[in-house]
């Protein structure tokens, strides 16, 4: 008797589930034989089943940002599986010499060339080389949480990490190989609020095994950052970002101190065409690696000629699906 009761209960649950799925599949179709609205309202049990199924179905929201890099900061955006990204980041010199070096275009510049690859949709690995200190860096990004359309997941959360290895020949400053290492870790939270507005905030931890020419600078440094993207046309956006060092900040100093790190403020114009992304930048940091921006940004906005630089980022994507497109 107990076995029959169990069988009847299971059969009833299956019938309710199949009926709910049938109603969902026919919801968007014209129905000439549809039941009266009164009967539809009486299906309270079925509506509860539909609600339960809707919670389980995950529909990701559109990406908050067009690229994995805002201006200097990392975004929560991850590469898709088997997608290769080539990126060139260039920062000119500051405005100190005015038009003599064309606002820093002919001055001392910093550049990074790197590649990132999407292992799976939520994990990417990368490698790059930067001119400053001839640094090679290995990086990774993991998407922990993705925003959904129904707001059951209201934000994107990603973890980004980077290990830098200084390559310049200086056995005095770097007597051991381990002295060349620097580390950067950050948790990034973003949300796409509307079709034209996305915002993100992040907290970071940076460690240098050796602090170069900076008396009193700690090995461990913390910082906070924020940024936003405002879409102004199908292909163009305005980008802003802000980085604030919490540990070794020079913003509270009454006089300029070259051994302190100053906040970075940047604004940029982004042009995105899907597989290409081009960003023109005006910012107060000429560092490209995030650990350099937090610990070694010596550009003070209180001195505009020394505190502003021009730059640009170029991104190019290739997707390897292994299938021929029809």
Kindly tell me if the per-residue pLDDT of 182 is higher than 90.
yes
* Residue 152 confidence (pLDDT): 85
In sequence order, what are the beta bridge partners of 319? 83
Please tell me which residue, 214 or 236, carries the higher pLDDT value. 236
Mean pLDDT confidence for 168-183:
84
CATH 2.40.160.40 is held by the domain 83-319: yes
Q: How confident is the model at residue 9 (pLDDT cuts 50, 70, 90)?
A: low
Provide the pLDDT confidence category of residue 261 given band limits of 50, 70 and 90: confident
Would the pLDDT of 97 be above 50? yes
The more confidently predicted of residues 34 and 203 is 203
Residue 64 has pLDDT above 50, yes or no: yes
What pLDDT is stored for residue 210 in this prediction?
A: 85
Give me the helix-helix angle, 2-25 and 44-56, nearest 10°.
70
pLDDT for position 252: 62
State the Cα–Cα distance between residues 222 and 290, nearest whole angstrom: 12
Does pLDDT of 174 surpass 70?
yes
**C-alpha radius of gyration, the chain, whole number:** 26
**Domain residue ranges of the chain, discontinuous segments joined by +:** 1-20+39-57, 83-319
Q: DSSP secondary-structure letter at 326? A: -
- Give the mean pLDDT of 157-185: 90
């Amino acid at each position: 008797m107990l076995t029959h009761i169990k069988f009847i209960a299971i059969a009833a649950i299956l019938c309710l589930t199949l009926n709910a799925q049938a109603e969902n599949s026919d919801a968007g179709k014209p129905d000439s034989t549809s039941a009266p609205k009164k009967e539809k309202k009486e299906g309270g049990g079925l509506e509860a089943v539909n609600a339960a199924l809707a919670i389980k179905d995950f529909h990701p929201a559109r990406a908050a940002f067009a690229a994995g890099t805002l201006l200097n900061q990392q975004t929560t955006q991850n590469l898709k599986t088997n997608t290769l990204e080539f990126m060139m980041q260039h920062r000119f010199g500051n405005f100190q010499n005015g038009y003599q070096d064309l606002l820093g275009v002919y001055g001392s510049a910093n550049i990074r060339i790197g590649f990132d690859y999407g292992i799976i949709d939520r994990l990417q690995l990368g490698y790059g080389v930067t001119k400053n200190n001839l640094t090679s860096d290995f990086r990774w990004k993991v998407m922990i949480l993705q925003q959904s359309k129904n707001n059951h997941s209201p934000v994107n959360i990603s973890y980004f990490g980077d290990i830098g290895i200084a390559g310049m020949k200086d056995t005095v400053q770097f007597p051991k190989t381990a002295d060349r290492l620097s580390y950067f870790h950050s948790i990034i939270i973003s949300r796409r609020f509307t079709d034209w507005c996305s915002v993100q905030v992040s907290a970071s931890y940076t460690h240098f095994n050796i602090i170069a020419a900076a008396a009193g600078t700690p090995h461990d440094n913390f910082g906070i950052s924020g940024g936003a993207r405002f879409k102004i046309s199908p292909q163009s956006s305005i980008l802003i970002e802000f980085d604030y060092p919490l540990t070794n900040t020079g913003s509270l100093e009454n006089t300029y101190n070259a051994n302190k790190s100053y906040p970075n403020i940047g604004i940029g114009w982004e042009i995105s065409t899907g597989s290409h992304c081009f960003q023109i930048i005006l910012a107060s940091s000429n560092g490209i690696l995030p650990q350099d921006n937090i610990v070694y940004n010596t550009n003070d906005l209180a001195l505009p000629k020394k505190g502003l630089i021009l730059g640009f980022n170029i991104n190019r994507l290739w997707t390897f699906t292994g299938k021929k497109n029809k």
